[in-house]
Amino acid sequence: MPYKFVYFPLRGRGQSFRYLCTDNDIAFEDEAFPADEKQWAVRKPKTVLGQLPILFDGDLEIGQSNAILRHVARKHDLYGKDEKEKTLIDMLNDQQEDLRVAYLGVIYAPADYDAKKTEFIKGIPDKLTVFEKMLGKNHGGSGYFVGTKQSFVDYTIFDMLDNLIVLSPGCLDGTPLLKAFHCRIASKDKIAKLRQSEAFKKMFINANGKQ
């Protein structure tokens, strides 16, 4: 029985999950909930945490995008081979979450978007240094972030880098390992096919249309 994934019709906090499932042949139904305030007002109190995305795994309803990723990763051997790798994956995912939250703080800034965007872009190279360093520690940065096979954190970091590239083209030029990593993931057959689809190209990254 496939998972049922419910999210607004945008990339946002749902794209990492879509990449993970697509790349690993994990069946899921992708339900795009209408971006309509009245419909959401009715649906919101009926969801497990009052927010989207949510994932249905049989009779289990899961909220929070990272909890969804961890749940699916545990079930499909995408969470490292041992406790050491799991801890490194968690650490790196928390680090990308910090950067993602900072990014979203700019995208959804109530005022002075342009000024905040300019300031944030200036700081991107420094913020990416730790990811470059950690990637380089694992087999010289030639593969994945942890171990010898992909894990869910590779998809969350890839998606985060994707968003940053749109916001600031060329931002990976100073981190060659990250740039090569992004190219490797983007070039994977199933992910490349997804990204070349019209549905993907038409989908906004963020709910307010800011890229």
Are 67 and 100 contained in the same domain?
Answer: no
Give me the CATH number covering residue 68: 3.40.30.10
pLDDT digits (tens, 9 = 90+) for 57-73: 999 999 999 999 999 99
Asked if pLDDT for residue 205 goes beyond 90, the answer is: yes
**Nearest 10 degrees: CA dihedral of 49, 202, 144, 100?**
-50
Q: Is 200 a domain residue?
A: no
Structure tokens at 112: 């002075």
- 125 and 187 part of one domain: yes
Structural domains of the chain, count: 2
Domain span at residue 37 reads 3-77
Cα–Cα distances in angstroms (integers) from residue 47 to residues 7, 35, 37, 55, 143, in the given order:
12, 16, 15, 10, 38
Q: Are residues 67 and 144 part of one domain?
A: no
Question: Is the distance from CB of 124 to CB of 161 less than 8 angstroms?
Answer: no
End-to-end CA distance of the chain: 35
State pLDDT tens for residues 128-183. 999 999 999 999 999 999 999 999 999 999 999 999 999 999 999 999 999 999 99
pLDDT above 90 (res 209): no
Same domain, 97 and 188: yes
Looking at the domain assignment, is residue 149 inside a domain? Answer: yes
Answer whether residue 14 shows pLDDT above 90.
yes
Same domain, 169 and 188: yes
Residue 1: band (very low, low, confident or very high) from pLDDT cuts 50, 70, 90: confident
Residues 87, 186 within the same domain: yes
Domain check: are 18 and 38 in the same one?
Answer: yes
144 and 49 co-located in one domain: no
Report phi then psi at 7, rounded to 5.
Answer: -155, 165
Distance in angstroms (rounded) separating the CA atoms of residues 65 and 46: 17
Q: Are residues 104 and 51 in the same domain?
A: no
* Residue 205 belongs to some domain of the structure: no
User: What residues contact 121, with CB distance under 8 A and at least 6 apart?
Assistant: 167, 168, 171
What percent of the chain clears pLDDT 90, i.e. is strictly above it?
91
On whether residue 178 sits in a domain, the answer given is yes
Structure tokens at 181: 């990593």
Tell me, yes or no, whether 181 and 105 share the same domain: yes
Boundary of a domain, candidates 31, 50, 77: 77
Helices 83-107 and 152-167, axial angle in degrees (round to 10): 20
pTM: 0.96
Place of tokens 């490797």: 184
Q: Is residue 198 part of a domain?
A: no
Q: Are residues 90 and 48 in the same domain?
A: no
**Last residue of one domain, picked from the residues 59, 77, 95:** 77
Same domain for 121 and 165, yes or no, is yes
Summarize pLDDT for 115-132 with one digit per residue, the tens.
Answer: 999 999 999 999 999 999
- Give the pLDDT of residue 64: 98
Q: How many whole angstroms separate alpha carbon 178 and alpha carbon 168?
A: 15
